[in-house]
Every structure is written in C-alpha cells, then in structure tokens.
Structure 1
Amino acid sequence: MASLINLKTFTDDRGNLTVIERVIPFDIKRIFYIYGVDNSQRGGHRHHKTIQAAICIRGHCIIHNNNGSAESSFALDTPDKCLIIEPEDWHYMHSFSEDAILMVLASEYFEPNDYIYVPYTFESLLAAYEKV
C-alpha cells in the first residue's frame, strides 16, 4: 500500500531547503512532472514493476490509491511530503490547484507494457477482505 514519508527540510531566515537523499526505496531511472492540469483526473493505472515517489513541489493535489484490498487518499500539500506508490497501487490524481506541479520519481524507464489500466473491481476487494 502507498505510504507517505517526510523529506528532510532545513529552514532558516533565507527559506527552505528540502533534501531527497537515502529515503527513496529504489534507484531513480526516470523523473517527470505534471502541471497545468484543469479539472481532469490524471493517472488511472497501476504497474507490473514500477515504484513511484510523488512530490507536489508546488500547490496541492490528492492521490487516490487502491491496492486491491484497501483504498486510501493522500493530500500532497507541502513539498516535504513524498508518497511512495507501489506497483500494485492502482492510482489517480485529482483536485490539482491551479499552480500545482507534481514531480514523480520512477524506478523504471517508460515501458508501455508495464501499465495496467483496468481498476480493481468491488468483487476483487470483497474477495480480498473475505480472506482476512
């Protein structure tokens, strides 16, 4: 399941310095960022292999996750919050502020076959719940 980590931030009279060092649980192979989003949702997929770290470096957005047995939503509203998204997390992003810039660090290079667009169904969630 996706989890939030706090990035180390140093603050003084000059401003803030946030460091991403030794906290990302994978080697970074790709970086992309999303901005200028209207009222649309972004994402809407999960992966076979890729782990992602999402940081809203400006503005705010919400990332909704479903790993097939639990659902959760995370508000990314400060640049020191980092959401680790596991491959099994079917996720989408929404409620972007006008000034939002969402930066994503990825464990894999872009590979179209790594994407799974079909969301988990209610039946799969119920079956997972009944196993517990």
Structure 2
Amino acid sequence: MQKPHLIEFPKLGAPDIGYISVEEVQGLVPFPIERIFWTYFTPESIVRGRHAHHATEQILIAVAGRIIVTTEMPDGELMTFVLESPHVGLYVPPNAWHTMQYSHTAVQLVFASTRYNEEDYIRKRENFLQVWGSK
C-alpha cells in the first residue's frame, strides 16, 4: 500500500531569470493523468478535502502560496506536509483521508488519475474507517 510522499520536480533556471518545472509523460507522476484541476482564493479559515478516494491517485502542488496537507492512513498514521515550493508535489494514494488548509494567496494544482466520479469519494470519516479498516 502506497503512502503519501513528496515528489520533487525538476527546477530549471536561476533567481535572475526565473524558473520552470516540467513533468513529461511517463515521468515522475506514477499514474496516467486523466484530470487536472486547480483551487484558488480559498479563505484561510476553510479546511478543504475531508475525504478519501476508492481509486483516485493525486499529486497536489502549491504553485503559489502555502498549503498544509494532513493525511491519515488506514492504520491511523497521521502525516502533515507543508507545500510551498512550486516544484514539489505531494502524492496522495486512494486510501488516504486528506485535508488541506490554504494561505489566501495559495493556488493548488492537482493531477488526478481518474475523471471526476462522485462514487469514488468517501466523504464521511466513519465510512473511510469502515472501507479501509482503520482503527
């Protein structure tokens, strides 16, 4: 079972000219990308996410600002990641409950392994614990 982990994308450039980060097909993302979406202007008081997926894998990237991501694995292991570098992404496997809290200026880019399907979401924590067998 995969755990959430950071992926560092190439960071090319210099402070005086700027940077570019690149992901190519069959590169660092461990799945074919079926959906790309982004979130922005999220108030700092709002916690988003609060769900897990049956099948969807994701890479979360803070292309601007800061995002604090907390994940919970089926065995109860909690992990917290601070995303604030646009060349670093967080891999979130399908069996991880996750929440995100944003700085107001944060822009989150997400690569997902599946197209949107409401049935893939586990939106109640009690159901997550039942589905994935957590304590």
TM-score surpassing 0.5?
Answer: yes
What corresponds to 1:87 in structure 2? Answer: 94
* Alpha-carbon separation, structure 1, partners of 2:117 and 2:60: 19
Cα deviation for residue 52 of structure 1 reads 0.2
Residues 1:40 and 2:46 aligned together: yes
Structure 1: runs of 5+ lacking an equivalent:
128-132
SS at match of 1:102: strand
Secondary structure in 2 aligned to 1:8?
A: coil
Taking the TM superposition and a 5 Å limit, the aligned residue runs for 1:1-132 are: 1-12=3-14, 13-21=16-24, 22-38=27-43, 39-69=45-75, 70-94=77-101, 96-119=102-125, 125=134, 127=135
Report the Cα offset of residue 97 of structure 1. 1.3
2:10 counterpart letter in structure 1:
K
> Equivalents in 1 of 2:23, 2:106: separation in Å?
19
The percentage of aligned residue pairs carrying the same residue is 32
Counterpart code for 2:19: N
TM superposition score normalised by structure 1: 0.88
Please give the per-residue CA displacement for 1:93-125, whole angstroms capped at 9, x wherever unaligned. 01x11210011110000000000112255xx65
- C-alpha distance in 2 between matches for 1:112 and 1:33: 18
Separation in 1 of the partners of 2:112 and 2:122? 16
Moved over 6 A (4+): none
Q: Give ranges in structure 2 of 5+ residues lacking alignment.
A: none
Whichever residue aligns with residue 92 of structure 2, its letter is: I
CA distance in 1, matches of 2:61, 2:23: 10
Counting matched residue pairs gives: 123
Tell me the TM-score normalized by structure 2: 0.86
Letter in 1 for 2:6: L
